[in-house]
A and B are shown apart, each in its own frame.
Chain A
Amino acid sequence: MIPPFETFYAEHNREVLGLLRRKLGPDRADDAFQETFLRALRAYDRLDHGEHLRAWVLTIASRVAIDVYRRTNATVEVPELAHEDPRPAYEDLGELTDGLPPKERAAVVLRYGYDLTYEQIAAALDSSPDAARQAASTGVRRLRKEKSA
């Protein structure tokens, strides 16, 4: 059951703004806030289910924060994922995937930790479903290699 966008927005806007302010400071957070929810709106009618919407929108916010950071800073901050969520699968995966590049890590965690579809992951990462699938599988391969090494 996917709620109307109004309900989704009202439920998560404070937390998204909080995250963006921590990452970017109050000035740059405002534009990033708008961009985050516009990206979510763009993808919203393609969602297959209404689970983990919080993790989904916080991931979008993290990606937007990186984009803003890249535009406005010389150095790049590695994003934190929405690790406040107590879901165990994610906790485990969070540690396990610690060494992956940000995009692969996000794809692996959202796919296997949150069971999101590649469509949803693509929306969160602002890329295509194929690219999301590829990032997840590259990430998993990399993890296997690390584990066997």
Chain B
Amino acid sequence: MSIPTDLDRRFRDAAARSGMLDAGYDLVQTPLGELLVAATDRGLLRISFDPDPDAELERIERLAGRRVLRSSASVDNVHRELDEYFEGRRHAFDLAVDLRGLTPFSERVLHELARVPFGETATYAGLAERAGKPKAARAVGTIMNRNPIPIVLPCHRIIGANGSLVGYGGGLDRKVALLTLEGVLL
């Protein structure tokens, strides 16, 4: 037996509105499969492909605090912008991000990454240079692989110097799909 859906939903909405949540999250259906999306009052905290909810909950708790609740209201705006992006109606996300827990260099790299526009690509080395460490292409690769907010922070737009796709944290198929959606690949 579970509690009535509307009662459950009303509590979750009220909790999100109360401002007492450390983080709220929800599962969002996209053409790339189900994503877990989590946000705090600072902004978008996490997007995960193929989420394992228990492991994700723990991870969110470690980053943001124990008052974590599934609530669609907490990620409404993210959900909407993702829908628009996948429908081809949005080329830039208008979302604050919460990068807590990252090293200053990772943060700098992700800020530079956010400036690579829709439909364009950059190289790992190029991104390393923009973040002030031209020799750190390999470290940038690791940071891309661990990007906590893929799609919105567009690590799919970062490719090898020879034009190869190299890799993607969410699986290379998804990198291909995203670059195809953006018209980079045919």
**Which residues of A are in contact with B by a Cβ distance under 8 Å?**
2-7, 9, 13-14, 17, 30, 33-34, 37-38, 41-42, 44-45
The DSSP consensus for interface residues of chain A is: helix
Out of B10, B60, B66, name the residue touching A44 (CB < 8 Å).
B66
- Note all chain A residues with C-beta closer than 8 A to B69: 5-6, 9, 41
The answer, yes or no, to whether B103 is at the interface (CB within 8 Å) is no
- Note all chain A residues with C-beta closer than 8 A to B7: 17, 30, 33-34
- Note all chain B residues with C-beta closer than 8 A to A4: 57-58, 60-61, 66-68
- Note all chain B residues with C-beta closer than 8 A to A9: 11, 69
Contact across chains for B3 and A17 when beta carbons are under 8 A apart: yes
The answer, yes or no, to whether B172 is at the interface (CB within 8 Å) is no
17 contacts between A and B (CB under 8 A): A3-B66, A4-B60, A4-B61, A4-B67, A5-B67, A9-B11, A9-B69, A13-B3, A13-B8, A14-B1, A17-B7, A38-B11, A38-B14, A38-B18, A38-B20, A42-B20, A44-B67
Contact across chains for A45 and B11 when beta carbons are under 8 A apart: no
Please, how many angstroms separate the alpha-carbon atoms of A3 and B62 in the complex?
11
The answer, yes or no, to whether B70 is at the interface (CB within 8 Å) is yes
- How many residue pairs bridge A and B at CB < 8 Å? 58
Please, how many angstroms separate the alpha-carbon atoms of A143 and B66 in the complex?
38
Contact across chains for A45 and B2 when beta carbons are under 8 A apart: no
- Note all chain A residues with C-beta closer than 8 A to B14: 34, 38
Give B22's nearest chain A residue, CB to CB.
A45
Give B62's nearest chain A residue, CB to CB.
A4
- Note all chain A residues with C-beta closer than 8 A to B68: 4-6
Contact across chains for B67 and A41 when beta carbons are under 8 A apart: yes
Question: What distance in Å separates the Cβ of B39 from its nearest Cβ neighbour in chain A?
Answer: 14
Within 8 A of A (CB), among B42-76: 57-58, 60-61, 65-70
Question: What distance in Å separates the Cβ of B4 from its nearest Cβ neighbour in chain A?
Answer: 8
Give A36's nearest chain B residue, CB to CB.
B11
- Note all chain B residues with C-beta closer than 8 A to A45: 22, 65-67
Please, how many angstroms separate the alpha-carbon atoms of A131 and B85 in the complex?
54
The 10 closest A-B pairs by CB, nearest first: A4-B68, A4-B61, A4-B57, A5-B67, A34-B11, A41-B20, A6-B69, A17-B3, A13-B3, A5-B69
Question: What distance in Å separates the Cβ of B136 from its nearest Cβ neighbour in chain A?
Answer: 35
Please, how many angstroms separate the alpha-carbon atoms of A9 and B3 in the complex?
11
Out of A2, A7, A41, name the residue touching B15 (CB < 8 Å).
A41
Contact across chains for A14 and B67 when beta carbons are under 8 A apart: no
- Note all chain B residues with C-beta closer than 8 A to A33: 3, 7, 11
Out of A7, A14, A44, name the residue touching B57 (CB < 8 Å).
A7
- Note all chain B residues with C-beta closer than 8 A to A6: 57, 68-70
Contact across chains for B61 and A41 when beta carbons are under 8 A apart: no
- Note all chain A residues with C-beta closer than 8 A to B22: 45
Please, how many angstroms separate the alpha-carbon atoms of A49 and B68 in the complex?
17
- Note all chain B residues with C-beta closer than 8 A to A41: 15, 18, 20-21, 67, 69
Please, how many angstroms separate the alpha-carbon atoms of A30 and B8 in the complex?
10
| B11, B22, B58, most chain A CB atoms within 10 A | B11
